A and B are shown apart, each in its own frame.
Chain A
Amino acid sequence: MRRRPRRAYLDSMVFIFGRLEECNSRLVLFLAQLGEFEVVTSELVVEEVERFFRENFSREAGYLARRFVEALSFRIVERDEFKEEMDAFEGKIKAKDLENVAAVKHENLEYLVAYDQDYRETGIQEYITPKEFVKLFELKPYEMEY
């Protein structure tokens, strides 16, 4: 049985959906803001979230999104910290998922919160959907997985 974590890695989609829709990703962000667990992210996540809001809304939205991720994160893993893990997993998982998985392995985290079937298909044990993650805290999730 999976247990409530002390810290977890959040994929970009959690920040993006969490801000834009009433969904389980939003509940994940609220749990983090309440201090129920510590957020770990990576440079990739910070960059992707900023870029998403900058390109789809405004430059100011991009800046605020970046600051939100930075303020919420206990730890932002830098690329040069997980080179070994990147090498170990290169070719075994899709390139788009490589940095997230390498950061999770480097930090020895139990959970990678995301909604992407590719993680499941490639057998990433740490993968958990926002819906399943919310259940660990005994909250009633929304119907959707994200």
Chain B
Amino acid sequence: MVKEKLLVRLSGATADVLNELVRRGFFATRSEAIRVGILRLGEDFGFFKPSMHYWRELGEEIKRVGRRMTHGEIVEALGQLEEET
């Protein structure tokens, strides 16, 4: 996962809006509000999509691959994943 640590200096309207978003309880922290805001910008500019888009695309990709996992196979693969992690 790509990680970025940023020091953002805000003042005036941007600082007021950010503080208000947290004060009113829309977000638990300012970092969280900034993170969601960046994703919204990504959506607006068309290089990040809402979750429903990825949900559908993933469903299509699973169909395309053509593998149907049984419940037992999923459980087994999950167990293996946990062990390896």
Cβ of A71 and Cβ of B65 under 8 Å apart? no
Residues of A within 8 A of B59 (CB): 19
Q: Closest CB-CB distance, A102 to chain B, in whole Å? A: 14
Cβ of B1 and Cβ of A46 under 8 Å apart? yes
Kindly state the separation between the CA atoms of A12 and B53 in the bound complex, as whole angstroms: 19
- Interface residues in B60-85 by Cβ distance below 8 A to A read 61-62, 64-65, 67, 69, 71, 74, 77-78, 81-83, 85
Cβ of B65 and Cβ of A61 under 8 Å apart? yes
Nearest A residue to B79 by beta-carbon distance? Answer: A96
Nearest A residue to B52 by beta-carbon distance? Answer: A33
Q: Mark A117-133, 1 if CB is under 8 A from B, else 0.
A: 00000000000000000
A71 touching B61 in the complex, CB below 8 Å, given contacts A43-B1, A47-B85, A52-B81: no
Stretch from A62-70, A83-91, A134-142 contacting the other chain? A62-70
B17 lies within 8 A of chain A by Cβ:
no
B55 lies within 8 A of chain A by Cβ:
yes
Residues of B within 8 A of A56 (CB): 67, 69, 77
A16 lies within 8 A of chain B by Cβ:
yes
Q: Closest CB-CB distance, A96 to chain B, in whole Å? A: 4
Q: Closest CB-CB distance, B25 to chain A, in whole Å? A: 9
A33 touching B51 in the complex, CB below 8 Å, given contacts A16-B78, A96-B82: yes
Nearest A residue to B61 by beta-carbon distance? Answer: A61
Partner-B contacts on A (CB < 8 A): 7, 12-13, 16-17, 19-21, 29, 32-33, 43-44, 46-48, 51-53, 55-58, 60-61, 64-65, 67-68, 70-72, 74-75, 78, 96
9 pairs, A vs B, C-beta closer than 8 Å = A16-B78, A32-B51, A33-B51, A48-B82, A53-B62, A64-B54, A67-B49, A74-B32, A78-B3
Having A16-B74, A74-B36, A96-B82, one finds 7 other A-B pairs with CB under 8 Å, namely A13-B78, A20-B62, A21-B71, A48-B85, A53-B62, A55-B77, A61-B62
Question: What 7 pairs across the A-B complex have the smallest Cβ distances?
Answer: A68-B54, A71-B51, A72-B51, A64-B58, A67-B54, A96-B82, A61-B61
